[in-house]
Amino acid sequence: MTVPKRLPDPGLPDFAAALLDSEAATPPGLVGPDGKLAPKRFNVYRNNVVVSLCEALEQTFPAIVNLLGEDYFKALARTFVIRHPPVSPVLIWYGAGFADFIESFPPLEAYPYLADVARVEWVWTEAYHAADAPALDPASLGAVPPDRVGAVTFTGHPAARVVVSQWPVWDLIRANRFPTQEAAPDIELTHSQDILVTRPDLEVGLYLQRPGAARFLSELFEGKSLGEAAAAAQAHCAEFALADCLSECLSSGAFTEMQVNG
């Protein structure tokens, strides 16, 4: 039996860099069956790598695809891929920095809302793949003595995220990611909207937040007591309504546990 000759091992840094640089030469050691350098084979592989990463972004950010158009998105995604190669072998986590990239991309500076739309889509992905956990029963709070309710703290659900935006991201996401048969609503870009994203069961839910609710939830997720979070939200927003906000965040499945302190 003839033992095949061991081929030179291309250096990993050279190989990785050449994958995302269409002008780079084929790394030494990448040869075909004839033992000769195989630039055509490498170019095919290089193109497939870039295309697959662009397609991963397209799957994660469908609202951005609709807002920009497919051709523009593909060009934008290719630029992102070349500048920001993956840092994880798990493809579902590729695109974590896409929103920041959009925000700092000069040709898109006239569309500042796009970055927050991308942030909502990214936390949707995080929520979808987050650990499963049973949501807290909203009725649990009713068993707490009234004089101790203010000291209660909550444990956030692994899928729960809050996105605070000065743009109407709720309307933009609904119109461009979850379109219906109804006529698209008129979207007023001067309106600000905050969103809670979570997944207490099988489906990811997006919940438009009342005034002050995002600050309230953020404080609770950081471990602040109910009384402390309510005070911070009230100071932040005079329209904050504790009873309504608390009822909605409990019913949405934003928490898994409750602790009665003191």
Residue 39: predicted pLDDT: 64
Residue 10: predicted pLDDT: 46
Enumerate the domain spans of the chain: 1-111, 131-262
Rounded to an integer, the average pLDDT of 244-262 is 93
Is residue 73 over pLDDT 70?
Answer: yes
Task: Report DSSP letters for 123-152, one per residue.
Answer: HHHHHHHSPP-PPPPGGGGGGS-GGGGGGE
Token pair in block for residue 193:
């909207």
Residue 261: predicted pLDDT: 85
Residue 12: predicted pLDDT: 47
Rounded percentage of the chain residues whose pLDDT exceeds 70: 82
Q: Taking the model in full, what pTM does it have? A: 0.85
Is residue 69 over pLDDT 60?
Answer: yes
pLDDT digits (tens, 9 = 90+) for 7-64: 444 444 567 777 766 666 676 666 677 766 656 666 666 777 888 999 999 999 999 9
